[in-house]
Structure 1
Amino acid sequence: MTAPASAAGPTEGSDRLPPVRFAFDRHTWKEIAHLLLNLPVSVFGFVYAYTVVFTGGLLSLTVIGLPVLAVSLLGARQLGKLERKRTRALLGVHVEEPTPLPISRGGGPMQRLWLALKDPVGWRTLLYDFIRLPWGVLTFCTVLTSLFVLWPVLPFLARGLANVDRAMVRGLLSPSDELERRIAELESDRGVVVDTAAADLRRIERDLHDGAQARLVALAMGLGLAKEKLLEGQADDAVAEMVAEAHGEVKLALQELRDLARGIHPAVLTDRGLDAALSSVASRCTVPVKVTADLPARPAPAIEGIAYFTVSELLQNISKHSGARSASVDVWRAEDRLLIQVRDDGRGGARLEAGSGMRGLADRLGAVDGLFVVDSPAGGPTVVTAELPWRDRKE
């Protein structure tokens, strides 16, 4: 009696167990490859992390210690980026990239150094590299042994080990939470605000020293000479000329003080609002400017001031550099944002380069959660769009 096919030895089409054959799909082989690569990757990461901590701690007593540690943490960020790419390619884990460290948005060298040293992403990556070495040895040895000894259960074993890897990547290499990101941005923005305020104070000091102060000194000297001549009884044409010159110096000094006060905070902005203030600054532009302001109410003074000085500097750039024949300024509110758009038909080519006036404006707006976008192709036209958060004015 012939034995049934199911009881016989393996035959064509039934020599492989379906569950095992199905388990060895391309996803399983990717997981196996990932687990085998864990050893060399974890060895490199552990050596890097140990070197960073040991060298940084050793050099922390010297001047170069903290900068070396800061650079090493930036390097750890790059290692984390490579590990996320490897996990994404082999394990299918889609972990978002952390927000770039805002060390290029302004602030002095010490501010940027402090931000790098406090970077939670860099420190979590070092922790990840520390704990990965024993895990990398375990997964490499387990999978390598299973390839020859535990072949039927290898797919399930690989899946379990890979799930642990997925959890580690999500837990330690995922982006910082929103609070950490906002703290880093606010610390950077605080540095920008401090630097901007210091630059404004230096400008005011320079304008006072070179302008009104110098004129008032000359005025005092002229009046002193006129007084001496009058005391000597020399009330002649020379004294009258000195007094006339002093009168002229007084008028110039007053004008410079008015200009300086307007640069700090124009009275028209305080008294009549953004529409009138922008019309005033537009009237001083060498290019005809059309101003349109559609605001249902006045924003908070701080936002109003930033909007005014942004438009003022953009119009100065148009006067000096654009070669435009006309320009326009549009200001309006859209939900909880104050939008500003400045256009000119000049030669274009404006760029947000480091150290430029445009870069400075972008940094100032970024410090208050604003946006600054420049569209200026060669040949023009130039369109600059700025956004500020709308804050209601408290009467």
Structure 2
Amino acid sequence: MTASPLSPPAAPAESPPPPRPVLSAQSCREVAHLLVNPFFDTLAFVYIVSCVFVGGFLAITVVGLPVLAACLLGCRQIGKAERARARALLRLQIDEPSPLHAERPGVLAWVWAQLKDPVAWRHALYFFIRLPWGWFTFGVTLISFVAWPALPWVARGLTNVDRALVRTLLSPSDELERRVAELESDRGVVVDTAAADLRRIERDLHDGAQARLVALAMELGLAKEKLLEDPQAGARMVDDAHGEVKLALQELRDLARGIHPAILTDRGLGPALTALGGRCTVPVRVHTDLKERPAAAIEGIAYFTVSELLQNVSKHSAAHHASVEVWRSANRLLIQVWDNGQGGATAETGTGLAGLADRLNAVDGLLLLDSPTNGPTTITAELPWR
């Protein structure tokens, strides 16, 4: 019997099942991390247990403590490798702990520094915890391949625990440790700056005041001989020597002012900056709003910061006038130097701003630069009050 034209159409064939979800790149990295976990953790665990056992067994001898110290140094290196694995596979942003430095030179000081290194001991604890957890995550990941759609979520949950462990035990312990690393880096800047200042003072003394005093001594010796033969010529030589004395004294005053100006010690930052602005080749307006004086060391740094900035104004800015503002905000000393020059100042153009920023950073200070082309230029320095 043929179908009627009004009969419903035949049911279509059954459609194929939807495709299985494909793992994202991040999920693939997380699964790879979980599958590698037990092998890396086992090697690290065996190393640490062996080191602790051998070091503890030999502790009764002289060799034991150096062996244990060397093993702890190895823990640092294993932790470094684990952080690199976490960055590559878990995309975890984590800083390196500060390097370890012995307080004094010598083998005994190095061994003692290694033995009390909290970073190395935290790394050892990390791999003690990781061994059972690594094999557990490995087994769960293999089982999750059976329940394929759930694998990305399982991998994410397990690796979040891994991320927490890495942040807790393999990252720098706290902000203080990171600050120590920064200060150790800044210490090199301070030492280099101090050495450069000593070389400058030595050069100024040798080429300036010392050379002038040597010439003065020779001239006075000739004048002494000349006084008996030709008193008038001897008197003229004494007058010339008197002028040389005045020049030598002025050079010594300038040199002393470059080391630490007397007006800064006697009257404070405001009068010292006013005198400094008066010697600038560009007219400078100085305004200070300080009810009390900061620490002497901070005063000196602030003075020489303004001095260097005003030198840049004189040499590079082509400005018609400038200003210096100094005030206190909470526990910070703020300095702002402004000029209406050509602008375009950067820390890479040889104006000394990069070195100045490094020196301020060494004392927990800050240098901010705003210098668009065609000006004006505003440079703000921030220093701790104490």
Equivalent runs, 1:142-221 vs 2, <5 Å: 142-148=140-146, 158=155, 161-221=158-218
- TM-score, normalised to structure 2, is 0.69
Is 1:36 aligned to residue 32 of structure 2?
yes
CA RMSD for the aligned pairs? 4.5
Q: Which residue of 2 aligns with 1:288?
A: 283
Counterpart code for 1:227: K
For the 8 Å contact 1:374–1:385, the answer to whether it is kept is yes
> Distance between the aligned counterparts of 1:225 and 1:120, measured in 2?
72
User: Is 1:229–2:232 an aligned residue pair?
Assistant: no
* Superposition deviation, residue 174 in structure 1: 3.6
Contact 1:274 1:308 survives alignment (8 Å): yes
Distance apart, 1:153 and its partner CA: 8.8
Instruction: Determine helix, strand or coil for the equivalent of 1:368.
Output: coil
1:220-242 Cα deviation digits (max 9, x unpaired): 01111112233xx2124432332
For 1:351 and 1:216, the matched residues in 2 are separated by 41
Alignment partner of 1:316: what SS?
helix
Give the secondary structure class of the aligned counterpart of 2:343: coil
Gap regions ≥5 residues in structure 1: 1-11, 13-23, 48-72, 89-94, 103-117
User: Is 1:83 matched with 2:79?
Assistant: no
Gaps of 5+ in 2: 1-13, 15-19, 44-75, 100-113
Give 1:16's aligned residue.
none
Q: What is the aligned residue count?
A: 324
Whether 2:316 is the aligned partner of 1:321: answer yes
The residue number in structure 1 matching 2:352 is: 357
Asked whether the 8 Å contact 2:333–2:384 carries over to 1, the reply is: yes
1:314-356, Cα deviation, whole Å (9 max, x unpaired): 1111111111111000001111111000001111122123975
- Label 1:314 to 1:80 Cα distance change in 2 as closer, same or farther (>3 A): same
Provide the rounded CA distance (Å) in 2 between the counterparts of 1:188 and 1:281.
32
The equivalent residue for 2:373 is 378
Per-residue deviation, 1:39: 4.3
User: Which moved further from structure 2: 370-379 or 134-143?
Assistant: 134-143
- Helix, strand or coil at the partner of 1:299: coil
Give the structure 2 partner of residue 300 of structure 1: 295
CA distance in 2, matches of 1:356, 1:46: 55
The alignment's TM-score, normalised by the length of structure 1, stands at 0.67
AA in 2 matched with 1:224: G
Q: After superposition, where does 1:58-97 map in structure 2 within 5 Å?
A: 80=83, 83-84=86-87, 86-87=89-90, 97=94
Match of 1:113 in 2: none
Conserved 8 A contact 1:288-1:326? yes
Q: Which amino acid aligns with 1:143?
A: T
Q: How does 1:110-149 map to 2 (within 5 A)?
A: 139-140=137-138, 142-148=140-146
- Map of 1:107 onto structure 2: none
